[in-house]
Chains A and B, each alone.
Chain A
């Protein structure tokens, strides 16, 4: 198949590893905006999810945030971030990094918030009751009991968020951001199928690598005494 040959030659061409459009530069851009968005999303969503799960209040909101999050198409999120970034940070920042970054944060929040809520809620009431009976305070219960027991689901939520964000960061190319989406959007515009295909391969591999890396980390981080719960997202 000539296409695969073209793609192989594209990857072998040293020109694609130099300058602002170099593969390694695009990968770093992609990971940078994704990593920052996931970090901010986790910082915002995790405390809220843990608190709601611990008190058991506003469960309706916590669960529905995820559904609303799903209903927002990624392309719409990117599109809506243009006027928002422009209004907040001035017209000069209405394209490129900022709208991409701002659009990715809300995509990271729902799985983290919902999983944290569901995970803490799901901790056996007898266990927290016993802890309370032994004199642990509410903060102690959350930190020493609920958090370790809820960890597998919380990490699964962060993994879902990370994979979603890495996937959607591809669309940043539409709003003049870099990242691996650049190859796909440019390849489409220029009808250069080798570039298009190479970009798509890189994005797919990156998403799978993120999924696998998080999965490996989850297995290593979770207490062996806890059976991994199935469910939630």
Chain B
């Protein structure tokens, strides 16, 4: 922090709105790709676990280890292979979503009451119809809760990708740190938190739209 410098220079903020918009786009893109790809992979892994429960232990161990490895370390381990690229960032970000998403998808589907499943099978739903028409709609609340957690933590982790040349709002934080410029640093941090809160609120709204029966009780 430079002496005599105010904590926040509003004129700098006013003159950098274009940059904020650009970083917002970058941040959202990195997040959406990570959560989207993560969801597809997690969904496949969850179906595997539900069909073959023996795979649950190994899958949880692997995704749990990925989740435990600090983000910066994981990016660093990838750099010699995939360089300072979006691919490195996305591999890391996707791998962090898997544990939460798999856990919630599996928990959601297992949480469907046994009597509902039995009634569906007993009335002549084919196995695939039971999954798509009964189990997934009923698991939706738990699954979206997982997507919310994954999205919030991904938005936070995207800031770390600034160290490998990506980063969205994290880029502002990193430059702010390197230049001791608190305005830019605080702007990046606040915008990142605001984006996480906004994304979470949107997902809550989505869940309400998709599960009208939950409000009827």
Contacts and interface: CB of A to CB of B under 8 A. Distances in A.
Do A and B bind?
yes
Interface string B131-163: 000000000000000000100110111111011
Interface in B58-86: 65, 68-77, 79-80
Binding site secondary structure of chain B: helix
Interface stretch (A10-18, A133-141, A149-157, A170-178): A170-178
A200 B76 contact: yes
Nearest to A168: B70
Contacts of A80: 185-186, 189
Contacts of B202: none
A163 B186 contact: no
Given A82-B1, A166-B70, A203-B73, A76 B173 contact: yes
A86 interface: yes
A187 B76 contact: yes
Given A80-B189, A82-B182, A207-B70, A94 B76 contact: no
Contacts, number: 136
A71 interface: yes
Nearest to A199: B76
Contact of B189 (A3, A73, A199, A200): A73
A207 B64 CA distance: 12
Given A70-B152, A73-B156, A174-B174, A201 B65 contact: no
Contacts of B68: 163, 167, 207-208, 211
A192 to B, nearest CB: 11
Binding site secondary structure of chain A: helix
B79 A193 contact: yes
* Interface magnitude class on chain A: 35 or more
B18 to A, nearest CB: 22
B197 to A, nearest CB: 6
Nearest to A174: B177
B152 A76 contact: no
* Interface magnitude class on chain B: 35 or more
A18 B200 CA distance: 48
A75 interface: yes
A170 B182 contact: no
A181 interface: yes
B156 A74 contact: yes
Interface of A: 3, 67, 70-80, 82-83, 86, 91, 94, 163, 166-168, 170-171, 174-175, 181, 184-185, 187-188, 193, 196-197, 199-201, 203-204, 207-208, 211
- Which 5 A-B residue pairs are closest in the complex by CB-CB distance? A73-B156, A76-B189, A167-B70, A200-B76, A203-B73
Given A83-B7, A184-B76, A203-B69, 14 more contacts: A71-B197, A73-B189, A74-B71, A75-B162, A76-B156, A76-B189, A83-B1, A174-B174, A193-B80, A197-B77, A200-B77, A204-B77, A207-B70, A208-B69
